[in-house]
Amino acid sequence: MSSLKERIFAVVKRAYPGGEPAPNGRLDPVYALFRRYQPRPAEQELAYFTDTSICSGCKSCEMACKQWNQIESEPIRWSGDSYDNTFDLSAKNWRHVKFIERFPEENPANRPAPKTIDGLLREEKAGQWLFMSDQCKHCQTSPCHEACPTGAIMRNEFGGVYYQTDICMGCRMCMAACPFGVPEVSPETGHSMKCAECYDRLRDGLTPACQLACPTGAIEFGPRETMLEKARARMRFLHEHGHPEARLYGVGEFANYSGLNSFYLIMDKPEVYGLPAEPVTPTTFMPGDYLRGIATLVVCAAAVAACLMGTIL
Amino acid sequence: MKDMTWIKGQPSPYELHDLTHFPDWRGLIVWDAFFNNLTSGLMVIIALTALGTARVFGWLLPYALILAFLILAVDLVLLVADLGDPWRFLHSLRVFRPTSPLSVGVWALTGYAICLFLAILTTWVPALFGVPHAVGLHMAMAARMFTTLAALCAAAVICYKGVVFSCTSQPGVKNARWLTAFMVSDSLLMGCGLYMCLAVFLGAGIANAWLMVPFHILLLIRFGTFWLLWLDVAPRARRMHRSNAFIFIMVYIVGGIIAAALACKGGQPGILAAAALVLITGVCERGWIIGLTRPL
């Protein structure tokens, strides 16, 4: 067992010292409908680190996700965009491998193959083929969590954002709030769905299915600090080996958005991968929006009242 | 990035389009926004008139409350019917989450519905069944109290509706900082228009005379807030509707305001026409604003 896995197990064991958590049996007064359990205390944050520079676009992560979570496949449609026929993250696609082809019309053939890895890395590129395995970002301050009116969306003890589909009423506010376009209401069930961070596997001390299935090690999962160290080390390596375009996405806080618990090493600007360069937390504007509304209400009501009392006339 | 000519002019398939999921806001949501604003705007106007100028509007109050309640019932049905799993609506009453505009709205609507129902009960029971004088006095007091409370809840209902759209990541409305202000002014205008219609049907000409000036002032305020809203959403509107958007919107809104203002001069049919114009404009505006979130 790798040391990283041991560290993940250590986090999980701290959360569940006695094994599977038992309901605490507390009942809120008045009515059984209002019964709820106390959330588990926060543990160390776990995070995904996806290194797109070594992603091979094999879609093993997509398959593993569907298999573990028992999500049925959608009918095949052809996007016309390289090998991407998944189209988008959705209620049935919690993982989405993106393909970005960038090749010239004429590709120089019959060139001699480099003899070393360094030679391969320094080789003048005639084209680019970018892959990215995308998923829910499990934002540290998640707009979907803030927008949910039922409490169906919760933050689990590992810092992941988890949707309780047995509570969700399908209001679609999480869809509207997410700046990354992750959650979607399933047309079949009417409930919102997205990556669950394999919460059930985590509780049993297993790593997420997508991470386990990734053949190149592009998807890593573990304590956030460890993942940050790996991400920074990998970026340094790429910079030193002729890839100054490598950059990290979601590691730190954005100007108007929190950091992510699923961050990426990407080889071009975020927009190329369909990521917002500067996501914004929608609730940032809430006080101002309410205030403008209330001020308008006061002005209108005062005008009407003044007219009715005859002070204007 | 190195300067590679083959990259230029070749955006990736994930660029240049909306990143967010479209939450399928159309149809029911537009009508929900309309009826929500209509009933809450009407309620605020009812409270302002009945409590401020009771001698003129007092006898209209029971009928106006019933009208507000009927519209509220339609709105609640639309609100629940639009959910992916309508039977789970009760789950939103298990918690109160101030960071969620919809949660604020659900509780405001609940408070509004309860207070309005009690206001109707305390207003109509003495009138229909007759009660002893002392009880009648207490019920009249209760009616005033519940009407006031219903109006306060209605004010919260008006305010949440704009925020529920503007505090999202949806293109078109995410930058609409004046959407709530616009919806507030428009809902009061629609409420005023509907109240004038009711006064026409009940033969309360004096009430309409009192409401005429507030109606015109609200028309002006609505124009101002719409202008501010337009400045927020213009970039998206131009992308969606091409270059004609500005001219179309201005002709539509300015024309609507002038027509409504002029129609008021035409006696009772004119008042009905002005109110109808304001209500139709209200539906169209909501459809247009919510439509800005549609994928390009």
pLDDT mean for each 10 residues of chain B (296 residues): 48 87 89 97 95 85 96 97 92 92 97 98 91 91 95 96 96 95 96 95 90 92 93 89 68 75 81 91 90 88
B17 belongs to a structural domain:
no
CA distance B61 to B48: 11
| Cβ(B39)–Cβ(B72) below 8 Å | yes
Look at residue B4 in the predicted model and tell me its pLDDT. 46
Cβ contacts from A onto B, under 8 A? 235
CB within 8 Å: B6 and A167: no
Helices (H) and strands (E) in chain B, counts: 9, 0
User: Is the confidence at residue A35, as pLDDT, over 60?
Assistant: no
- What spatial distance separates the first Cα and last Cα of chain A, rounded to whole Å? 84
- Residues of B whose CB is below 8 A from A276: 19
Evaluate whether residue B128 is within a structural domain: yes
**CATH number of domain containing B123:** 1.20.1630.10
ipTM metric: 0.93
What pLDDT, in 10s, does the model give residues A247-259? 999 999 999 999 9
pLDDT for the residue A1: 47
A232 touches chain B (CB under 8 A): no
d(CA A240, CA A52): 17
A150: nearest CB among B14, B95, B178:
B95
- By the 8 A CB rule, do A50 and A218 touch? yes
CA-nearest of A163, A136, A128 to A147 is: A163
Write out the two tokens for B13.
């398939």
For residue A101, the SS3 value is strand
Q: Do A305 and B52 touch (CB under 8 A)?
A: yes
Region A240-245: mean pLDDT is: 92
* pLDDT score at B182: 96
- Please check whether residue B7 lies inside any domain of the structure: no
Tokens 């001390």, located at residue: A205
Instruction: Report the alpha-carbon distance of residue B120 to residue B62 in Å, rounded.
Output: 7
Residue B9 placed within a domain: no
Phi and psi at residue B78, to the nearest 5°: -65, -40
**What is the span of the domain harbouring residue B243?**
26-291
Residue B126 within any structural domain of the chain: yes
Query: What is the pLDDT, as a whole number, of residue B56?
Result: 86
In a domain, B18, yes or no: no
Higher pLDDT, B229 or A17: B229
Total domain count for chain B? Answer: 1
Is residue A167 within 8 Å of A131, Cβ to Cβ? no
Output B70 or A81, whichever has higher pLDDT: B70
Q: Which residues are CB-contacts of A294 (< 8 A; sequence separation ≥ 6)?
A: B159
Q: Is there a domain that residue B21 lies in?
A: no
Chain A residues with CB under 8 Å of B158 CB are 293, 297
A residues 150-189 lying closer than 8 A (beta carbon) to B: 150-152, 167-173, 175-186, 189
Determine the number of helices (DSSP H) and then strands (DSSP E) in chain A. 9, 10
Residue B68 lies in a domain: yes
B101 contacts in chain A (CB < 8 Å): 147, 173, 286
**A interface test, pick of B53, B61, B100, B192 with most A CB neighbours within 10 Å:** B100
How high is the pLDDT of residue A210? Answer: 97
Band of pLDDT at residue A219, cut at 50, 70 and 90: very high
pTM > 0.80: yes
Report whether pLDDT(A173) > 90. yes
CB contact under 8 A, A33 and B94: yes
The first and second tokens of residue B259, run together, are: 């027509």
Residue A18 pLDDT level (bands cut at 50, 70, 90): low
Q: Looking at residue A199, what is its pLDDT?
A: 94
Mean pLDDT of A175-203: 95
Q: Decide if pLDDT at A313 tops 50.
A: no
Residue A43's pLDDT band (cuts 50, 70, 90): confident
Structure tokens of B20? Answer: 């967010």
| Minimal Cβ distance to B178: which of A127, A290, A292 | A292
- The rounded distance, in Å, linking the Cα atoms of B271 and B46 is 18
| Residue A269 forms contact with B (CB below 8 Å) | yes
| Cα(B158)–Cα(B37) distance, integer angstroms | 6
Q: How far apart are the C-alpha atoms of A54 and A264, rounded to whole Å?
A: 12
Provide the 10 A C-beta neighbour count for residue A277. Answer: 9
